[in-house]
Amino acid sequence: MPRAMWDRLLVDCHVCTMVPARGDPLGLVQNGAIAIADGKIVRVGKRSEMAGAQVKEVVKLGGTWITPGLIDCHTHLVFGGNRAQEHAMRRAGASYEQIAKAGGGIASTVAATRESSATELIDSARRRLHALIAGGCTTVEIKSGYGFDTASELRMLNVARALGQQEPVRIFPTLLALHALPPGANRTEFVRMVIEEMIPAVARAGVATAIDGFCEGIGFLPHEIEQLFAAAEDHGLRVKLHAEQLSNRGGAKLAARYSALSADHLEYLDEAGAESMAEAGTVAVLLPGAFYALGEQQKPPVQLLRDFGVPIAVATDCNPGTSPLLNPQLAMNMACTLFGLTPDEALAGMTVNAARALGLDGELGTIAPGKVADLCAWRIDHPAELGYWIGLPGPERRMLGGVDTWGVAG
């Protein structure tokens, strides 16, 4: 029987598989090779093991290190305007809550987003997306949440989908249904509208893969989030949650009870929350950009997460007010320097664990047979450098489904 023909064989490279092996958390393969067929990885190993293979194209990668494409599993990339003026307010001592109460914060972005046309939203988000792509991202989650009504949220989700169709990147759209209470709105009526109108409309349109909320004193309370999660469950949508960022409201434990994909921020996470997340398989998404931009002092309990075996992901949280961060390598460096992650943990946080935080770990996040061939080639001496350098240039080469992508990813 003739041997199968591979589309591409990547050689002259070292491979960071992100599949732990014999005490090596990164699953490193020196002088490795990766075989690709139909956009998927079919074999990974030493180059010498693949001698004589039938292949349409042999690609020499010049001694670079190959990692899975980076995954930014928490962004708010689509919005109108910006909130640069709030940066000055924070430097003058204003808190997150004070800015929100003064009419800034999320409400100001909602207004700017509503005033922007769909074309303007796509064009501005595209520039931000290009920065993430150039930094090595092959998958990006994009939340809505700056609409406050069904039509506006649907418009944001459709913009996110359009970006995924127009750019060489995979987009994971999330409906951030309970983000903030609109000025002057009745809480009970707003939550009812989200549950009875917004979520069913989004589910019918098929434009979101998950539902999210902000569980906080200035956001929504646990009983309101529970109503949100129950509605999401009724419509077959997974859930995620902004939890324990500014205080402990028990959001992480609630998220785990609904088998949430992730609970994000977690600066005020307690032992009960961490234990619940571990039992549910809920990923902890750490957002050092927001911690840095807000000048926070309370760090997420990384050792507690380790002790309970909670998977740790890292994301930029790119948004106009509290994390104007557009560099995935800087997010990894911040996770190390501010939160105490190891470089290995930071890289896992933007690959294998980020894929888990989006429910995509069966397809993405590692270099292994059967996985989609989303890959980056880095001119570095060791993968640990991705969490070490500040402002490291992006990958030398970037592949989506085994195909080279150039342009902004260059």
Least confident of 97-106, 157-166, 170-179, 267-276: 97-106
Q: What is the pTM of this model?
A: 0.95
Please say if the pLDDT value at position 1 is more than 50.
no
Per-residue pLDDT reduced to its tens digit, 351-367:
999 999 999 999 999 99
Least confident of 54-58, 196-200, 207-211, 404-408: 404-408
Q: Is 363 buried (19+), middle (13-18) or exposed (0-12) by CB count in 10 A?
A: middle
What is the rounded CA–CA span in Å between residue 407 and residue 35? 24
Please say if the pLDDT value at position 408 is more than 80.
no
Kindly list the distances between the CA atom of residue 18 and the CA atoms of 65, 334, 346, in Å, as whole numbers in the listed order: 12, 20, 12
Please say if the pLDDT value at position 191 is more than 50.
yes
pLDDT of the residue at 409: 40
CA neighbor of 316 nearest in space, from 128, 119, 111 = 128
Q: Is 93 buried (19+), middle (13-18) or exposed (0-12) by CB count in 10 A?
A: exposed
Name the CATH code of domain 6-69+366-409 (choices 2.30.40.10, 3.40.50.300, 1.10.3720.10, 1.20.1250.20).
2.30.40.10
Contact 64, 396 (CB under 8 A): yes
pLDDT of the residue at 392: 86
pLDDT of the residue at 3: 62
* Residue, of 355 and 105, whose pLDDT is higher: 355
pLDDT of the residue at 96: 66
Please say if the pLDDT value at position 317 is more than 80.
yes
pLDDT of the residue at 92: 79
What is the rounded CA–CA span in Å between residue 100 and residue 39? 46
The CATH H-level superfamily of 72-330 is: Metal-dependent hydrolases (3.20.20.140)
CA neighbor of 261 nearest in space, from 96, 73, 15 = 73
pLDDT of the residue at 94: 78
The domain ranges of the chain are 6-69+366-409, 72-330
Give the pLDDT mean for 369-386: 97
Per-residue pLDDT reduced to its tens digit, 281-296:
999 999 999 999 988 9
What is the share, in percent, of the chain residues with pLDDT greater than 70? 97
Please say if the pLDDT value at position 312 is more than 80.
yes
Helix boundaries (H) for 19-138 = 84-91, 96-101, 106-115, 118-134
CA neighbor of 225 nearest in space, from 178, 174, 265, 274 = 178
Pairing outcome for strands 28-37 and 40-46: antiparallel
Q: How many CB atoms lie within 10 A of CB 293?
A: 20
Task: Mention every residue, 6+ apart, whose C-beta is less than 8 A from residue 151.
Answer: none
Give the pLDDT mean for 100-112: 77
Pairing outcome for strands 6-16 and 238-243: unpaired
Total count of residues recorded for the chain: 410
pLDDT of the residue at 406: 59
At which residue do the structure tokens 């003026």 appear? Answer: 85
